[in-house]
């Protein structure tokens, strides 16, 4: 607390500040609400929302922050939320522990994990208590750097105990279904993580320890770090080809922010540490990793011709195996898993085959439909001939049982049918009467 002022809320200390076990902002907020014996939503509406409004945040934004508290929040929203919590509690460690400096540099998409995760060994052997670590909220992190085991989701495995919604605790490390401390109901068997997962956890852990301890990050330093890694290749495009991503993903500035996965891939292929890359001085990593695959990898456009030909051959084989000649080109592309423009540009023969097959199918269906209409009208004409009634277009359509919107289609078929019958010398009276009725209708 500064200047002798008393804080409105308890000055709850931040856990693990300056270490890779630094607490997450969401876990801190839940602990703060628990110590005041109120629900997190009540604490949020009573104290945080008014201060966010004083900072100029709109009402519609204020009520969306609670769901995206932490890494999943936008950098501007995260900064406003952090300032409000510092003003309420007087704990300056919240500014660095919230990782707002990191959230302002990397891309928002794919940064945070939506579901809660934890390390079963950390909860079985708590060092600083049961709380949520900021490292567990990163989507790229799938292992614990201390125990080298994979993280697991917070899922209750005790179906016999179910607490009422009003009794469910909102603390990290406590099951929200049965209330067991340290997620003892899970009984997860620790699974050994592989080398790549351990490397990612340690690199991101070093970055979290640096930022939560007060380390300063800036856009200029990150640009300098990327420039040093790009200098080992011919150009930015060459490095992007090596990483199987676009060159725009390596740009830091007003046009965009690189994702954490791309920066991890750069550090792995250049064999530098992730922290040194952010600090602008790429240094060799203590545990170098020669490859790191990006999630949701997209096939780049610069692929060589032999790989492209192999992909097109596989698409042709898949098309022949599906036997979907009766569907449109868009539907076929959806089943093949490719873009329609890509298929039309890269493989015009296969695209022409798909379009021709669909057109032939539609022409055959149209011919079959017209033939059925002709048979139906001929049966109506035979009926009227036997009953010796007036042969008019309306009488023929009425006898065939055609009404509604089908009349417009059947009139065209009836007109062509009567012309054919007139040329063959049959039902001449029918044709003349239908012609006279049609002329009177037009008049």
pLDDT in tens, 349-386: 777 777 787 788 788 887 787 777 777 777 777 777 77
- Specify whether the CB–CB gap between 10 and 85 falls below 8 A: no
Identify whether residues 399 and 436 lie together within a single domain. yes
411 shares a domain with 398: yes
Is residue 5 assigned to a domain? Answer: yes
Q: How far apart are CA 74 and CA 82, in angstroms?
A: 12
Is the pLDDT reported for residue 209 higher than 90?
A: yes
Residue 120 lies in a domain: no
CB within 8 Å of 20: residues ≥ 6 apart:
135, 145, 146, 205, 206, 208, 209
* 383, part of any domain: yes
- Over range 18-38, report the average pLDDT: 89
Of the candidates 312, 222, 300, the one whose C-alpha atom is nearest the C-alpha of residue 258 is 222
For 80-106, how does the pLDDT look when each residue is reduced to its tens digit (9 = 90+)? 788 888 888 989 999 888 888 888 888
Same domain, 101 and 177: yes
Residue 45 belongs to what domain range? Answer: 1-115+127-141+160-182
Q: Is the pLDDT of residue 303 over 50?
A: no
With respect to residue 60, please indicate whether it lies within any of the assigned structural domains: yes
Of the two residues 37 and 383, the one the predictor is more confident about is 37
Same domain, 314 and 387: no
Residue 234 pLDDT more than 90? no
Mean pLDDT of the chain: 76
29 with 108, same domain?
Answer: yes
- Residue 269 has a pLDDT of 85
Number of structural domains the chain divides into? 3
Q: Is the pLDDT of residue 436 over 60?
A: no
207 in a structural domain: no
Query: Residues 185-196: pLDDT tens digits?
Result: 876 778 899 888
Asked if residue 36 has pLDDT above 60, the reply is yes
Domain match, 349 and 394 both: no
Give residue 390's pLDDT: 62
Please report the DSSP string for 145-194 in residue order: TTT-BB-EE-----TT----GGG----TTB-TTT--BTTTTT-PPP-B--
Q: Do 316 and 176 lie in a common domain?
A: no
Is residue 51 included in any domain, yes or no? yes
Q: Is residue 340 assigned to a domain?
A: yes
Same domain, 17 and 87: yes
For residues 54-79, average pLDDT: 65
Mean pLDDT within 338-342: 72
Which pLDDT belongs to residue 371? Answer: 79
Its pTM stands at 0.63
Q: 260 lies in a domain?
A: no
Q: Which tokens is 386 given?
A: 């036997």
Looking at the structure, tell me whether residues 334 and 354 fall in a common domain.
yes
Please provide residue 421's backbone torsions phi and psi, each rounded to the nearest 5 degrees. Answer: -65, -35
Assess whether 8 and 108 both reside in one domain.
yes
In this structure, the answer to whether residues 40 and 99 fall within a common structural domain is yes
Tens of pLDDT, residues 114-155: 788 889 888 888 877 788 899 998 988 999 998 999 998 888
What six digits make up the tokens of 82?
């952090």
Residues 395 and 382 in one domain: yes
Q: How far, in Å, CA of 62 to CA of 65, rounded?
A: 6
pLDDT-wise least confident of 154-163, 228-237, 260-269, 330-339: 330-339
Q: Above pLDDT 90, what percent of the chain?
A: 9
**pLDDT of 58 over the 60 cut:** yes
Residue 66 is predicted with a pLDDT of 53
Instruction: Report how far residue 275's alpha carbon sits from residue 270's, in angstroms, rounded to the nearest whole number.
Output: 13
- Weakest mean pLDDT among 38-42, 72-76, 356-360: 72-76
Per-residue pLDDT at 372:
78
């Amino acid at each position: 607390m500064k200047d002798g002022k008393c804080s409105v809320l308890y000055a709850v200390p931040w856990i693990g500040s300056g270490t890779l076990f630094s607490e997450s902002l969401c876990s801190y907020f839940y602990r703060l609400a628990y110590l005041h014996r109120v629900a997190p939503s009540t604490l949020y509406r009573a104290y945080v929302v008014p201060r966010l409004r004083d900072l100029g945040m709109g009402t519609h934004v204020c009520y969306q922050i609670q769901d995206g508290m932490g890494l999943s929040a936008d950098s501007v929203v995260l900064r406003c939320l952090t300032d409000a919590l510092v003003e309420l509690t007087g704990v300056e460690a919240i500014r660095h522990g919230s990782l707002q400096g990191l959230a302002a540099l990397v891309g928002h998409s794919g940064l945070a994990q939506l579901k809660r995760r934890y390390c079963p060994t950390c909860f079985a052997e708590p060092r600083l208590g049961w709380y949520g670590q900021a490292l567990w909220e990163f989507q790229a992190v799938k292992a614990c750097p201390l125990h080298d085991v994979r993280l697991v989701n917070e899922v209750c495995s005790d179906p016999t105990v179910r607490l009422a919604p009003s009794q469910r605790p909102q603390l990290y490390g406590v099951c929200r279904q049965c209330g067991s401390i340290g997620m003892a109901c899970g009984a997860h068997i620790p699974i050994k993580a592989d080398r790549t997962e351990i490397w990612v956890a340690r690199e991101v852990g070093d970055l979290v320890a640096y930022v939560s301890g007060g380390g300063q990050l800036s856009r200029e330093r990150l640009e300098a770090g990327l420039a040093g890694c790009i200098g080992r290749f011919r150009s930015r495009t060459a490095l992007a080809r090596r990483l199987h991503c676009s060159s725009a993903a390596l740009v830091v500035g007003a046009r965009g922010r690189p994702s954490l996965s791309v920066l991890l891939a750069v550090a792995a292929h250049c064999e530098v540490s992730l922290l040194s890359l952010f600090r602008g001085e790429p240094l060799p990593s203590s545990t170098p990793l020669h490859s790191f695959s990006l999630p949701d990898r997209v096939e780049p456009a610069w692929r060589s011709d032999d790989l492209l030909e192999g992909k097109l051959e596989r698409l042709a084989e898949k098309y022949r195996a599906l036997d979907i000649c009766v569907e449109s080109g868009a539907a076929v592309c959806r089943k093949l898993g490719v873009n329609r423009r890509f298929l039309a540009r890269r493989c015009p023969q296969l695209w022409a085959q798909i379009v021709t097959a669909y057109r032939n199918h539609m022409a055959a269906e149209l011919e079959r439909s017209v033939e059925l209409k002709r048979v139906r009208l001929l049966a109506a004409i035979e009926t009227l001939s036997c009953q010796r009634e007036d042969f008019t277009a309306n009488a023929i359509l009425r006898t065939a049982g055609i009404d509604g919107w089908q009349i417009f289609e059947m009139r065209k078929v009836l007109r062509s049918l009567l012309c054919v019958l007139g040329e063959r010398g049959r039902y001449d009276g029918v044709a003349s009467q239908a012609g006279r009725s049609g002329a009177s209708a037009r008049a």
